[in-house]
Amino acid sequence: MDKEILLIDKPKNITSFGVVARVRRVLSEKVGKKVKVGHTGTLDPFATGLLILLVGKGTKRSNEFLKLDKWYEATIKLGAISTTGDPEGEISVSKDAKEPILSEVEKVVQSFQGEILQRVPNFSAVKINGERAYKLARKGVEVEMPKRKVEIFSIEILDYKWPELKIRCHVSSGTYIRTLGEDIGEKLGVGGYLTQLRRTKVGEYSVEDAVSLDEFMRENS
């Protein structure tokens, strides 16, 4: 494996920056001097899967990874919404939500394949007037979030047992899967938010070739 590129299978309940900080610490201790480490695209704390880290001189290669396609597997909880689109927000359950039949779910899910306009989530790292959107959202500041053209190259249902819908998708860079989950729930008329998210591939890099964070820490301590 390229020594400048490190593939980590990120566990849940840790930020991408937290992974970078741990890897930087253990590598710096190992060589006795500070080692540069950076990531090529964040994963939310609740999400797991492939996190590509760049080490040393490799940190200058970040542009190589900006526009790569990504693959995800996600679980959407239907019949409820979250203020953040994921389990970390305030959850509101719809008591009147009626269970959609499978054929209806399939039709809605497939309607998102292709080029779509997607609203950037309030809880995201996008800068609005010089400040991160998530910081504004935490302050309760309401802003008009921009919309972006993204592409869903493929999307399929892995399992559907009300209220959980599991999907797999191959998307363009810049696609927010949290927003995709919310939009699917909204189009079904029942609401929805992500309870699980796993990134399985970025460009040619696969999570199957990654090491867990715990394993990396053990091997390099």
pLDDT tens digit string along 108-151?
Answer: 999 999 999 998 877 666 777 667 766 766 766 677 778 899 99
Q: Over the chain, what is the mean pLDDT?
A: 92
| Mean pLDDT across 62-73 | 94
Q: Check pLDDT > 60 for residue 76.
A: yes
Q: How far apart are CA 71 and CA 86, in angstroms?
A: 18
Residue 1 pLDDT grade (very low, low, confident, very high; cuts 50, 70, 90): very low
pTM: 0.92
Q: Is the pLDDT of residue 51 over 70?
A: yes
Q: What is the DSSP letter of 180?
A: H
CA distances (Å), 10 to each of 49, 84, 118, 128, in order?
5, 20, 26, 28
Alpha-carbon distance 24 to 98, whole Å?
49
Please give the residue that has the higher pLDDT: either 86 or 134: 86
- Per-residue pLDDT, 157: 98
pLDDT in tens, 168-216: 999 999 999 999 999 999 999 999 999 999 999 999 999 999 999 999 9
166: left (phi over 0), alpha (psi -120 to 50) or beta: beta
Q: Are 120 and 147 a contacting pair, CB within 8 Å?
A: yes
pLDDT of 93 > 70? The answer is yes
Q: Which of 187, 200, 205, 197 is nearest to 116 (CA)?
A: 187
What is the per-residue pLDDT for 143?
72
In CATH, the number for domain 70-202 is 3.30.2350.10
Contacts by residues 26-29 (CB-CB < 8 Å, ≥ 24 positions apart): 26/216, 26/217, 26/220, 26/221, 27/55, 27/220
Give 22-27's long-range contacts (Cβ < 8 A, gap of 24+).
22/213, 22/217, 23/53, 23/55, 23/213, 23/216, 26/216, 26/217, 26/220, 26/221, 27/55, 27/220
Kindly list the domain boundaries of the chain, sorted by start residue.
5-66+204-220, 70-202
Asked whether 58 and 2 are in contact (CB, 8 A), the reply is: yes
Q: What percentage of the chain's residues is helix, strand, coil (to nearest 5)?
A: 30, 35, 35
Residue 183 annotated among the catalytic residues of the structure: no
Given a cut of 70, whether residue 44 has pLDDT beyond it is: yes
**Nearest CA-CA partner of 110 in 164, 182, 187:** 187
Cβ atoms within 10 Å, residue 75: 16
What is d(CA 26, CA 141) in angstroms, rounded to the nearest whole number? 39
Among the listed residues 44, 69, 96, 159, the single catalytic one is 44
Which pLDDT belongs to residue 112?
Answer: 98
- Residue-level pLDDT at 214: 96
Residue carrying the six token digits 């008329």: 189
Q: What is the rounded average pLDDT of the residues 60-79?
A: 95
User: So what's the pLDDT on residue 129?
Assistant: 67
Cite the DSSP H helix spans in 70-132. 102-110
pLDDT of residue 219 exceeding 70, the answer is yes
Query: Which pLDDT score is estimated for 144?
Result: 72
CATH of domain 5-66+204-220: 3.30.2350.10
Q: Do domains 5-66+204-220 and 70-202 have the same CATH topology?
A: yes
